[in-house]
Amino acid sequence: MSTVMKPASPGRPKDLEKRAAILEAGKRLFPQQGFEGTSMDAIASEAGVSKLTVYSHFNDKETLFKEVVRAKCEEQMPPALFLADLAGPLRGQLRTIAEAFFRLITSDEAIAMHRMMTSQTQQSRKLAELFWEAGPQRVMQAFESFLQQEVSGGQLAIADVHTAASQFFCLLKGELHARLMCGCCQPYSQGDVDEHLDATVDFFLGAYLPR
């Protein structure tokens, strides 16, 4: 009786592992070496794959850079974070989003990436557009959707959710983020961060809770 050979299982899990390794390599190298200083050869070596594999997942370095930014943002601010729970406390949801956002923008990678954006020469404008679309714009749109759900549920009274979302994130950056960007050596404690986040959320709710 002949043995029927099962077809080989598709290699997608392995492909996904390679894609993840490439993204992780990009997360490490782009902030360290800048866009122009990071080659696809270096990405491949860091990820432990061939350069052909890198190009098979990402057509060019700009596409890889954009996906690295998107992946980093989703890692610290996953889509589930912006699912409104109309039965739960609104302040708690806003506080969770605020903490995740502040942790993201004050991470070493984010600080390095921001400085890279301001120090590039030839491709600074194009890189800034890619960075904005993959990171800040996606986060902003997700938060706008969250706010709109809360407005529709009667939890908030906001006429312009885009403006409100922009205000929230700008308030969250505040003095503490400005200190980091300027390279100030004055440290701040977790208590300082908690106080800042609490004050920001309370200020926002004070402006947009239904009267």
Same domain? 132 vs 187: yes
Same domain? 51 vs 66: no
Give pairs for 124-132: CB < 8 Å, separation 24+.
126/62, 127/35, 127/62, 127/65, 130/62, 130/65, 130/66, 130/69, 131/65, 131/66, 131/69
| Domain contains 28 | yes
| Domain contains 6 | no
Same domain? 52 vs 66: no
Number of compact structural domains in the chain: 2
Domain end call among 59, 75, 93: 59
Range of the domain at 30: 13-59
Do 164 and 147 contact (CB within 8 A), yes or no? Answer: yes
Same domain? 33 vs 46: yes
Same domain? 122 vs 188: yes
| Domain contains 37 | yes
| Domain contains 36 | yes
Each residue's pLDDT expressed in tens, for the chain with a length of 211 residues: 444 444 444 545 668 899 999 999 999 999 888 888 899 999 999 999 999 999 999 999 999 999 999 999 999 999 999 999 988 899 999 999 999 999 999 888 888 887 777 665 556 678 888 889 999 999 999 999 999 999 999 999 999 999 999 999 999 998 888 888 877 766 788 899 999 999 999 999 999 999 8
**C-alpha Rg value of the chain to the nearest Å:** 21
Same domain? 157 vs 75: yes
pLDDT for 182 equals 79
Same domain? 139 vs 189: yes
pLDDT for 126 equals 80
Token pair, residue 207, equals 């402006």
| Domain contains 2 | no
| Domain contains 4 | no
| Domain contains 204 | yes
| Domain contains 48 | yes
CA dist 193 and 69 (Å) reads 24
Give the domain CATH number at 50: 1.10.10.60
Place of tokens 């549920």: 153
Same domain? 67 vs 23: no
Same domain? 107 vs 149: yes
Same domain? 55 vs 72: no
pLDDT for 129 equals 86
